[in-house]
Amino acid sequence: MESVLRPYGLGTTQWHVLYQLANEGPTMQRDLARTLHIERATLSGVVTTLVRKGLVDQMPSSKDQRQRVLQITDAGVKLWEGLPDPLAVIRGISFEGADAVETATALRVLQTATQHLNDHRNRALAWPLP
């Protein structure tokens, strides 16, 4: 993924932030940290970089001035629309030569396994602490 994004000056987490904003619209920064399962401090650094690059705007929330809303800029949309889909590139390389039925089966198994891992993590996070 990094090798696909490097020519565009983006890192993986930056791509994920742009993906969310391009597909979901303006988002509270704290909600984005939860959605992406990253620490707030990590997201803060990524957002600072994207704001500096002119790809994302960070504005105070109209409901709570202490909270920040993130929105992709016109420059961010233009970059986003010109980016190759790194996940499609990875799938293309990973499943090269496999027939469509094998690929569909592999994707279904991997998606199920990923969902099981995410469900397990979410249950672990919800466990009460002693």
Residue-by-residue DSSP string for 33-97: HHHHT--HHHHHHHHHHHHHTTSEEEEE-SS-TTSEEEEE-HHHHHHHHHS--HHHHHHHHHTTT
Note the pLDDT of residue 127.
66
Same structural domain for residues 100 and 43?
A: no
Alpha-carbon torsion angle 64, 68, 70, 74, nearest 10: 90
Note the pLDDT of residue 94.
84
Residues 6+ apart with CB under 8 A from 37: 121
Q: What is the bridge-based pairing of β-strands 27-28 and 68-72?
A: antiparallel
Note the pLDDT of residue 63.
81
Range of the domain at 104: 95-130
Cα separation, 6 vs 74, in Å, equals: 21
Note the pLDDT of residue 106.
86
Note the pLDDT of residue 12.
94
Note the pLDDT of residue 74.
97
Same structural domain for residues 37 and 56?
A: yes
Whether 66 maps to a domain, the answer reads yes
Same structural domain for residues 105 and 80?
A: no
Same structural domain for residues 77 and 14?
A: yes
Note the pLDDT of residue 119.
84
- pLDDT tens sequence for the chain (130 residues): 999 999 999 999 999 999 999 999 999 999 999 888 889 999 999 999 999 999 999 998 788 778 899 999 999 999 999 999 998 898 888 888 888 898 889 889 999 998 998 888 778 766 665 5
Whether 42 maps to a domain, the answer reads yes
Q: b vs e for 42-71, b when ≥16 Cβ sit within 10 Å of the residue's Cβ? A: ebeebbebbeeeebbbeeeeeeeeeebbbe
Same structural domain for residues 33 and 69?
A: yes
Same structural domain for residues 76 and 116?
A: no
Number of structural domains the chain divides into: 2
Same structural domain for residues 51 and 104?
A: no
Same structural domain for residues 99 and 73?
A: no
Note the pLDDT of residue 130.
53
Residues 6+ apart with CB under 8 A from 36: 13, 16, 17, 20, 43
